[in-house]
A and B are shown apart, each in its own frame.
Chain A
């Protein structure tokens, strides 16, 4: 019987430590240790109703995607000719309305909390971009309804889109193109940006309240390269 006596050790060699995979793993472990990615404790100041709207926005997006997937499975004309299809379309519509309602409250809440403080500016920016991309996703949904609403919105919106020059490649009167944007490209963009936003929230944690004496503070803070607790 032979015994493996190779020089295999648990210590990473220079070769291994330079791997893209190893570097990515180390960066992920550093940025998102398990208790930060999925914490079971939060600062006591989180006791406020406003924090509910972030998670409500995320779960509403989940319902938008689930109901949209059902509509996609059955095809774009299904909801016009089927009672069940019309009901699923109604679920899709109201989950979108809920999504935007919760997101706008979440956005205003974060504004009044100045939630960009403490090196959270990218968290704020991804939230605003997520809102803007979601507006585009909803807009293409309205264009994809194949009814009077779609006709009116598309023939009106073309003037705004064309004025920017985007109408050269982004034709709101082209149902096939708008449907693809609505069910493929923009949902992917929303999920990626919203996912990045949630990861940044987990990375930096929730922003602390303003301290009462901050206006008089003469303290200094660490440079932005250092992450806050």
Chain B
């Protein structure tokens, strides 16, 4: 310890206290804790009995493709041609250049690189369809697509994207107008049919072993469509609806995230392509500031300036007069 640390220092009211030399009163801490424990228990039981808790069923590739096969097919073609949000996401899913969020040179997502590699054409479409037995027409279509040049593939998928934009849902079945899309029509129709049977859910979840708990692939596929986000919008869960602190139904959600989600509502974060990183940076600075508040002149004086403490200790101050 330095000699300076031994030296008495000037009293600062926002840092130091005067030793309490007033009265002490009996205080049964354990009794208070026990009563509080019972009170919170009763309160929790009452809230649980009266309000229960939400449990909105999960969306599956099956339920999505049955409820909205057009949206499913429109999403599946973007997975096949590599134009979906996940296909162009960048790290940690793939190495798409200039895709990571950054603040100046600070680009941590790029530094860490690809850790959950996903090739949407292969992982979401081609490989699952290759697992289907006894489908010679489908396998021939896949062979034709995979052996074609990139230019030819792009021509087919572009033509299909135009056609599927005008597709119809006829009693749960996908009807796409005819067009020069080669084998792609067979591939996406088979993908939609596989999803409607529930087979695609299991195939995307499979990691080559019996037990699986990693839902990265099916969740990314589902999130690429508009079906999930439309359901979320109806529940007021979208980012623009302060959805981060909301919950399905009328239940309170993570209200403690109000400040975090607030930054997404204000410029420039609400329209910035680096908004997530910018909000993270702001929240980290604010959290660090809150931890270090006792060391920050000015900020640590706010309690004394606002004098809210006189309301908190009003009995004490009343006893002084």
Q: Which residues of A contact B (CB under 8 A)?
A: 38-48, 50, 52, 55-56, 58-60, 62-63, 67, 79-80, 86-87, 89-95, 97-98, 100, 104, 109, 111-114, 116-118, 121, 124-125, 128-129, 132, 135, 138-139, 142, 145-152, 154-156, 159-160, 162-165, 167-169, 171, 173-177, 179, 207-212, 214-215, 217-225, 228-229
Contacts and interface: CB of A to CB of B under 8 A. Distances in A.
B312 A151 contact: no
Nearest to A173: B216
Interface string B1-40: 1000111111101111111101111111110110011011
Contacts of A163: 100-101, 108-109, 274, 276-277, 280
A220 B10 contact: yes
B120 to A, nearest CB: 15
B27 to A, nearest CB: 4
B313 A45 contact: yes
Contacts of A48: 312-316
Nearest to A169: B115
B112 interface: yes
B81 interface: no
B52 to A, nearest CB: 5
B109 A86 contact: no
Interface string B183-197: 000000000000000
B59 interface: yes
Contact of A55 (B32, B92, B111): B32
B303 A114 contact: yes
Among B23, B48, B232, B292, the most chain A Cβ lie within 10 Å of the Cβ of: B48
A174 B56 CA distance: 19
Interface string B208-250: 0000011110011011000010011000010100011001100
Interface in B28-78: 28-30, 32-33, 36-37, 39-41, 43-45, 47-48, 51-59
A191 to B, nearest CB: 16
Nearest to A146: B58
Contacts of B290: 128
B223 A210 contact: no
Q: Which 3 A-B pairs have the closest CB atoms?
A: A176-B213, A165-B108, A116-B294
A142 B291 contact: no
B109 A164 contact: yes
Given A139-B254, A148-B231, A91 B214 contact: no
Contacts of B58: 146-148, 150-151
B248 A43 contact: no
A20 B303 CA distance: 42
14 contacts: A42-B24, A45-B315, A48-B313, A56-B36, A67-B44, A93-B53, A114-B303, A117-B17, A135-B257, A138-B254, A167-B92, A168-B115, A176-B213, A229-B19
A132 B287 contact: yes
B56 A148 contact: yes
Given A94-B48, A179-B213, A211-B18, 6 more contacts: A43-B20, A43-B23, A48-B316, A148-B231, A165-B112, A167-B91
B116 interface: yes
Contacts of A62: 37
Nearest to B255: A100
A217 B11 contact: yes
B102 to A, nearest CB: 9
Among B101, B257, B319, the most chain A Cβ lie within 10 Å of the Cβ of: B101
B26 to A, nearest CB: 6
B108 A164 contact: yes
B11 A218 contact: yes
Contacts of A128: 287, 290-291, 293
Contacts of B8: 220-223
Contacts of B18: 208, 211, 214, 219
A174 B214 contact: yes
B105 interface: no
B5 A224 contact: yes
